[in-house]
Each structure stands twice: as structure tokens, then as C-alpha cells.
Structure 1
Amino acid sequence: MWAWDYSLKVEEKFFDYHFSSINAEEYTSTQLYKHYKRKEKSNKGYIKKELPYTFDLASSFEKTILNRKTCVGTFSNNQRITMNLIARFSQLAFIGGEGGHRAYPSGGARYYVNIHYMFHNERVDEDLWKQGNISELNMDTNQLLIKDSIPWQVVEDAFIQKKLVSTAQFAIVLSVDLQSISKKYTDISYKLVQQEAGHIGQNIQLVSTYLGMQSLPLGGFYDLEVNRLIGGNETTLYVFLIG
């Protein structure tokens, strides 16, 4: 018997919205955006109050805030990337230690954003790539799950700025299964996972700086290619290069 369909079918809307703005290699020549110099914000005639402050460089937190900058050239690779360093990085930026409270907020504590590491086998310790250099972080079990082994040249080909990727020691991919995110917040779920990715991204840059590494938040990747690199039913939201 025929019945009315009351479902919102929000998953279809998420897919349509997301994939309407992806990068693809065949479109690169038409996706070059004209650079406009940023215009300084006007005070619009409002009453002004000065906010003078000198950073306390004896404070590791304030020093990290001051030194956090996006890498715009080749990566310095000042740190030896070991399993212990990745464990420390993961705990500080993502897992948040014991107790079940992660290092970043998520709408309704759903934690829909998935975190993947992609390691450059020539620039990190062998323990991080000998069984596979594409890993997913399971923050519920505090484990790195080895998913695949892919030559770094193939990883480079998934990005527009290949020279930058070539000097990075590893990449972090934030992704989501778009079909799984609408159970609690239905039509606003896509907005919430983007906010969650932003919270995670800020942690990535701050922890990178704190541990003596450079970072670059990156939108210049080919979405479908990165999706294939991390595997599964994942849709890439954001990528960070670290080195």
C-alpha cells in the first residue's frame, strides 16, 4: 500500500551541497581565484577602547599562541617524527587523555569527524610506515589503525600544491561519513561537523607549534583523490600538512 514519505532525506542534501564545491584536477584551470588584498576593517565611527598587551614568553601557552603561524614555504622538518611523538601529538590535539573527554568540542558529543594520518615514508621513522603509511585514529581505544600503504608520490598527486606536500613529514585528513551524521541534529548536522573540523584544526596548529613543528591548513586538494587515499565511505573536509 502506498504511503506518504515524511523523511527529510537530508543525507542527499549534504552530498549535493558538499560536492558542488569540490576541487577536481580537470577543473583546476577554471578554479583559479583572483587574489584581492584584504581591506582593513573600519571602526565605523564607534567609540574606541585600546587593548594593549605584551605576551608573556615565559608561559608556554602564550608563547605557542604567539608563534602559531601557517607555513608558506617548504617545511623545516626540525623534529624527528617517531611513534612516541605521534602518540603525544594525538593525545594533546585529539584524545585528551583518560576520562573520555576529548581535546575538542563536538555538537552533542557525537564526534562524527574522523582523523587520518598519512606519513611520508622518507621523512618519518620506519615504525610509522613499514606496515602501512595510511592510518586512522581510533580515539575510543587510543590506537592507530593501519589501513593502507601508498607511495608518497601518489599522495602528492592528490594535491594542487605538490611542492609543499613533498617536504611535509605527514598529513592529517579530517573526514566524515556524510550518510551517518544526521541521526541527532538532522538538517544542521553538516554545519556542526564543519564546526567540529574547525575546532580540531585549531588544535592541530597549536599542538604542532608547541611541539616544534610547522603546519599548514589546506583546501588545495582533489577531494575524490584524497577520499580514495583514506578509504572507506569517507568524505574529506579538511587537510593539514605538518613538517
Structure 2
Amino acid sequence: MWNFKGERNVEKNFIDYHMMSINEPEFTNTQVYDHQPRQIQGNSDYPLVDLDYVLDQSNPFEAVLANRYSAREPFKGNVVVNRALLARFTQLAMIGGSKENRTYPSGGAQYYVDTYFLFNEDLLDQQIVKQGNIMRLNSDTHKLMVKQYQPWDEISKAFIQKYLVNSAQFTIVLSCDVTSISKKYTDISYKLVQQEAGHIGQNIQLVANYLGLESVPLGGFYDIELSKLLGDNQTSLYAFLLG
């Protein structure tokens, strides 16, 4: 059992807990599992309440929910990724315009999860990547901060699904600084950042569908390698490929 209460070094326990579940290249063969079809759940002998409803495809919100899916084939790249699209994407999925709170919930409105964009310089508008292709989103100032440049060939090494990453226009990585997340919520902070990453991830998928982008959420990345690309003492939590 993991018990963070009463510990003087809570951050170390977060890190140890996280490291128990990371992917490493030398363990890939044992960490990638054969797909198991989901078993449809039965109703047993319980009394039932019928919830049948036909989603209204003429309603934009219902259509986005109904048509959300995770890409399984190489990305087609049907949408031009430029500054205007990125501005619209980030405002809808994360920033939320001029209001104080963002478009996703966060425990105590602390917003501990950081968002990084890593761009494939070969497949999108060159004006975006002329100063670098690894950027951190600042939702408070509505800006992408250009951190550094790494060739997409190097970035792709951090991902297991090569057939997807090679055709992606960019990836979004959600991360946090595990040495600072315990300041307010101490022992439950790690749980809260995981929940926050899930909220952002659902927004990413829905907004991508709304804007015509394909997307796929991934656990299939090498944690240490991806975190090194981000820098800033970040620990990768969740990643998405888009194209």
C-alpha cells in the first residue's frame, strides 16, 4: 500500500510511485499486450430503466460526441495546421478565452498540469517552427513559448507506435513538475494531476474532432525520453498524436 501521509518527503514518494508504471525501451516486448476484445456487460436479473436515445447529428455538440474516435491508421493530414488553427484549438481545448478559469476542471483551480506542443517540422506550416518546434503553452498569457528545436526523427523515438508518429503533424504532451505538486494537496496531489490530465485529454480529442483533426491518446511512450525532450523538470503523464 502507498501511504503518503506523514512523510517529510512526499515528492520522492510521488516519483517512486510514478516510476513503477513507466515504459522503458528494454521492456517494450513485455509491456505491449495483445488486444483483448471487450466483453459486453449483461444486465443480469436487475430491474431495468431504458435509456435508448438517438443522438442528434444535426446538433454540433452531439455530433462531436458521437463521432469522437481514436485514430488507428496513419494520419491523413487533411487539415492544414497553421497559427490560426492552433489558436482556435488551444482556446477551445484549454485556455477558454478571457475568463479566469479554463475549459477543463482542476483541483482547487491550481492547474498543475503543463501542456507541451511538439511539432513535426516536415508536415506543417514552416512559420510555426522557424524558431523551434518544442513549445510550452502559457494559458495565462495565451502564448506558446518556444523552448527548443529537435528533429521529428528524434522526437519520434520517444513513441512506441511508429506507424502513427511518423504521419502525425504534432503531439501534445501533458506533464507536471512532481517536486512542486504537493504544496497544497500534499498526499492526494498526484491523483489530482492524473484526473486533470484526463479532463484535458478529453477536450483534446473532442476539439480535434470538431476541427477535423484526427487524434489518438497514448500510453505508449517512453516516459524518461519524452520528459527529457520537455525539459523544465517535467514528468510526462499523457500524450496525444494529432494529424
TM-score tier, shorter chain, comes to over 0.9
Alignment of 1:60-209 (within 5 A): 60-209=60-209
Q: Which structure 1 segments of 5+ residues have no match?
A: 1-5
Q: Which residue of 2 aligns with 1:35?
A: 35
2:106 aligned partner, one-letter code:
S
Instruction: Provide the identity percentage.
Output: 53
Residues 78-132 of structure 1 deviation map (CA, whole Å, 9 limit, x = unaligned): 1000011001100000000102110000001010000000111111101211110
**In structure 1, distance between residues paired with 2:133 and 2:66:** 32
2:47 aligned partner, one-letter code:
I
Alignment of 1:200-219 (within 5 A): 200-219=200-219
**In structure 1, distance between residues paired with 2:130 and 2:92:** 25
Task: Work out whether residues 117 and 172 of structure 2, in 8 Å CA contact, stay in contact via their aligned partners in 1.
Answer: yes
TM-score (norm 2): 0.95
Aligned CA-pair RMSD: 1.1
Q: 1:231 deviation in Å?
A: 1.1
**In structure 2, distance between residues paired with 1:18 and 1:216:** 22
**In structure 1, distance between residues paired with 2:32 and 2:181:** 32
Q: Which structure 2 segments of 5+ residues have no match?
A: 1-5
Q: Which residue of 2 aligns with 1:22?
A: 22
2:198 aligned partner, one-letter code:
G
Q: Which residue of 2 aligns with 1:225?
A: 225
Task: State the aligned residue count.
Answer: 238
Q: 1:152 deviation in Å?
A: 0.5
Q: Which residue of 2 aligns with 1:240?
A: 240
Q: 1:44 deviation in Å?
A: 2.7
Residues 55-84 of structure 1 deviation map (CA, whole Å, 9 limit, x = unaligned): 212211111111100001111211000011
Corresponding residue SS for 2:179 = helix
Task: Work out whether residues 23 and 223 of structure 2, in 8 Å CA contact, stay in contact via their aligned partners in 1.
Answer: yes
Q: 1:34 deviation in Å?
A: 4.0
**In structure 1, distance between residues paired with 2:137 and 2:52:** 41
1:231 aligned partner, one-letter code:
G
**In structure 1, distance between residues paired with 2:135 and 2:109:** 23
Q: 1:7 deviation in Å?
A: 4.6
Corresponding residue SS for 1:84 = helix
Q: 1:35 deviation in Å?
A: 3.4
TM-score (norm 1): 0.95
Corresponding residue SS for 2:184 = coil
Q: Which moved more, 1:185-194 or 1:8-17?
A: 8-17
Q: 1:29 deviation in Å?
A: 2.2
Q: 1:45 deviation in Å?
A: 1.3
Runs of 4+ displaced beyond 3 Å: none
**In structure 2, distance between residues paired with 1:35 and 1:132:** 37
Task: Work out whether residues 101 and 109 of structure 2, in 8 Å CA contact, stay in contact via their aligned partners in 1.
Answer: no
1:69 aligned partner, one-letter code:
Y
Q: Which residue of 2 aligns with 1:3?
A: none
